[in-house]
A and B are shown apart, each in its own frame.
Chain A
């Protein structure tokens, strides 16, 4: 057996999340590639929640369509997730011992609650179920113990021992009742990799890129970025601030950036709506800023804990007037790390707002990635003048000096010789307010010119570029499409894939050859086909482009994409 699809479902507040976390880590440490997806509701207790894990012997970016094992800790678990069960799947319920085969899967009842009570640890139902899961795929019990020791180190030996006993009981239950169902899950290798979410990867990447200040307001699914950095930033002389509102979130960060710190704010769609006026201020005043928008389903409060990719139009045009901005959207969790680091260089090199788009599909879910390659992260602060640079100036420092590339040198407050006003009003080269038409025209052109050639290291990824049909994706949709294409290619279809990671400025010339003279199918999670429309604005694909869209709050399934692609090819 090369792969496993596993899910635990239960009521919110029942420990579903920690059960999933432990099992994901267990599989990961055993050498598997792990991809997870959490489904939950916007409430603290009650309501069905579940945690999906897919363990594979190869790297993947999708948590899979099916289920081999389902731990059904509440009544909804079976009802809600039944349609995902693979042939031969096993569903574990609590109750009197019984084993029943039905509709191609096996329903197993085991007295989880009763055993938990008997061993004096009534909360350990989940841990027993974990033991059952581990035993069913022959994971070594000792590795489970090691993980428990790590996980509960702070809670003391009593808790550790109680959880070990619970896991042991799970293994015993399988030996006693389910020995026929035990399978061996091949571990590809034991090489150490990282199991990380995009939120964590972005936070880690920002830290390494020299970000020292984050100000933000809590919002799902972005909060984890602020939470993670709250522990790490003080260690390097930086800090986070949880401020009074989203507007303060971005304006604090702009102030910190103006004063010389690499700074960022993190939010989701509703928060970004509030930030838009200050976004324009960053654009006009040419203050670098990184804004993470982890998208969820909108509009308004929408589906706060569900998946969608519908903020593209917003980030491309948010705020009034015109000003340069850069929009990056990593398509894997690994790239979330490197693009976050690059976003800070781009913000300072081009002195403009840089959006880092994420989506709930990657923000809150984990995937196995290679250890960090520190050589790929370099800090480049752009045109910043030092005290001695400023001393050599013959005239007064001109903050918005005209230049051929449109980028003017900055002076950081506190530096002698660089005193100037940074202005959100239209201004002359000095920074002072002007309404003079010629200067307005010239300085507008200077600003807009800045990002004409801006490009990140991997603005897009292409596979099978010679194919007859090119499927275009962004963000976490990449994973499901990759697998759909893989399945269809084995049946002889000629399909390529293009994942765009730099959406503005769109690398039009570089993209052109991959989209010329062929069918273009854009797969995206929104109603309007925002990515397709954006491509149509730049490339002549109008008469041969097609769209696959979904906006039900859930990520794409491989089988639904495959069947829609088949209709279009």
Chain B
């Protein structure tokens, strides 16, 4: 049985107090609780502070390019349905450059878990506005306040057919661990958006801010409409599993007997002949 220590990768360069430490701890704890071994898992990320989680968590990691963790992760899961695949990264990575992939991953429902560390700012590039920055937020690129309104990942996932939609908070590792376990267990695409404060650049959405404003959902909503309304009423500041629905995942629907690992010389002469005939 693997322990949390077995899931520790490279030494982290995150700032002291960064919310991402707790997200990583929750992910590692969830994997241990579920009896997973590092080689059975793949953490696939894009670019940014939070995307370094694939380096710091010891699994078959893939540290890729900005905004593309989801397609890489879905491709990996397509090739190897046995692998537990976690796509992860930040709100800039996932809801900025990667927002197109996000919506398509939601509606496609491949069995992976998407773990987003949402700090509502660009950290690694040192403090610019993010697609999750709140209206009027003053940052290095919005001196007169952000004139845009934030992307709402939860209602986006709800309205695009998401089958597991949850939100966690770095300040509550216990709850976050439970959510991640359930997300991994869910057969299909699962979104876990985590409020993960940036202690260096975001002086608004702090630990105290979340402590004062977050509302916990004890029981997932059974209707998408109710869930969307509730999330909107609370300005998105909710934690817990918002919605879950059982639905066949993408790969089960295809009904293919997966055999992507090709051994050498594995060619069926009859099949070749059948194909040749179609060109004759």
Q: Which residues of A contact B (CB under 8 A)?
A: 29, 192-196, 200, 204, 207-208, 210, 212-213, 215, 232, 234-239, 241, 243-245, 247-248, 251-263, 277-278, 280-281, 285, 371-372, 374, 377-381, 411-425, 430-433
> Are the CB atoms of B259 and A421 closer together than 8 Å?
no
Which A-chain residue is minimally distant from B251 (CB atoms)? Answer: A239
Q: How large is the interface on B (under 10, 10 to 19, 20 to 34, 35 or more residues)?
A: 35 or more
> Are the CB atoms of A244 and B100 closer together than 8 Å?
yes
- CB-defined interface of B51-71 with A at 8 Å, one 1/0 digit per residue? 010110011111111001001
Q: Which residues on A sit within 8 Å (CB–CB) of B258?
A: 237
Q: Which residues on B sit within 8 Å (CB–CB) of A413?
A: 39, 42, 60, 76, 80, 83
> Are the CB atoms of B42 and A424 closer together than 8 Å?
no
Q: Determine, out of B126-134, B137-145, B234-242, B267-275, the stretch whose residues face the partner at the interface.
A: B267-275
Using known A-B contacts A238-B260, A259-B80, A261-B79, determine if residue A419 contacts B39 with beta carbons closer than 8 Å.
yes
New A-B contacts (7) at CB < 8 Å, excluding given A260-B260, A263-B75: A194-B276, A237-B260, A255-B77, A379-B266, A421-B62, A422-B63, A433-B52
Most buried by A among B71, B74, B257: B71
> Are the CB atoms of A251 and B71 closer together than 8 Å?
yes
User: How many interface contacts (CB-CB < 8 Å) are there between A and B?
Assistant: 199
Q: Which residues on B sit within 8 Å (CB–CB) of A430?
A: 10
When chains A and B are docked, how far (Å) is the Cα of A411 from the Cα of B61?
Answer: 12
> Are the CB atoms of B39 and A252 closer together than 8 Å?
no
> Are the CB atoms of B37 and A263 closer together than 8 Å?
no
Using known A-B contacts A212-B259, A243-B104, determine if residue A278 contacts B79 with beta carbons closer than 8 Å.
no
**CB contact between A414 and one of B39, B58, B64 (< 8 Å): that residue:** B39
List 20 A-B pairs, Cβ < 8 Å.
A192-B280, A194-B276, A210-B266, A238-B256, A248-B101, A251-B71, A252-B75, A257-B79, A258-B72, A258-B75, A259-B83, A260-B261, A277-B65, A411-B60, A413-B80, A421-B10, A421-B54, A421-B63, A424-B64, A425-B63
B263 within 8 A of A: yes
In the assembled complex, how far is the CB of residue B7 from the closest CB belonging to chain A, in whole angstroms?
A: 10
Most buried by A among B37, B54, B72, B254: B72
When chains A and B are docked, how far (Å) is the Cα of A380 from the Cα of B263?
Answer: 9
**CB contact between B9 and one of A281, A412, A421 (< 8 Å): that residue:** A421
- CB-defined interface of B34-53 with A at 8 Å, one 1/0 digit per residue? 00011110101000000010
Using known A-B contacts A379-B264, A421-B63, determine if residue A260 contacts B80 with beta carbons closer than 8 Å.
yes
Most buried by B among A29, A380, A433: A433
> Are the CB atoms of A423 and B55 closer together than 8 Å?
yes
Which B-chain residue is minimally distant from A262 (CB atoms)? Answer: B262
> Are the CB atoms of B37 and A244 closer together than 8 Å?
no
**CB contact between A254 and one of B52, B75, B82 (< 8 Å): that residue:** B75
In the assembled complex, how far is the CB of residue A467 from the closest CB belonging to chain B, in whole angstroms?
A: 35
Using known A-B contacts A194-B279, A255-B74, A424-B64, determine if residue A414 contacts B265 with beta carbons closer than 8 Å.
no
> Are the CB atoms of B76 and A259 closer together than 8 Å?
yes
Which B-chain residue is minimally distant from A192 (CB atoms)? Answer: B280
Which A-chain residue is minimally distant from B11 (CB atoms)? Answer: A432
Using known A-B contacts A259-B76, A415-B39, determine if residue A208 contacts B68 with beta carbons closer than 8 Å.
no
> Are the CB atoms of A258 and B62 closer together than 8 Å?
yes
B214 within 8 A of A: no
> Are the CB atoms of B79 and A255 closer together than 8 Å?
yes
In the assembled complex, how far is the CB of residue B200 from the closest CB belonging to chain A, in whole angstroms?
A: 20
Q: Which residues on B sit within 8 Å (CB–CB) of A263?
A: 75, 79
**CB contact between B78 and one of A213, A277, A281, A372 (< 8 Å): that residue:** A213
> Are the CB atoms of B276 and A372 closer together than 8 Å?
yes
Using known A-B contacts A416-B39, A420-B61, determine if residue A374 contacts B272 with beta carbons closer than 8 Å.
yes
B73 within 8 A of A: yes
When chains A and B are docked, how far (Å) is the Cα of A261 from the Cα of B78?
Answer: 9
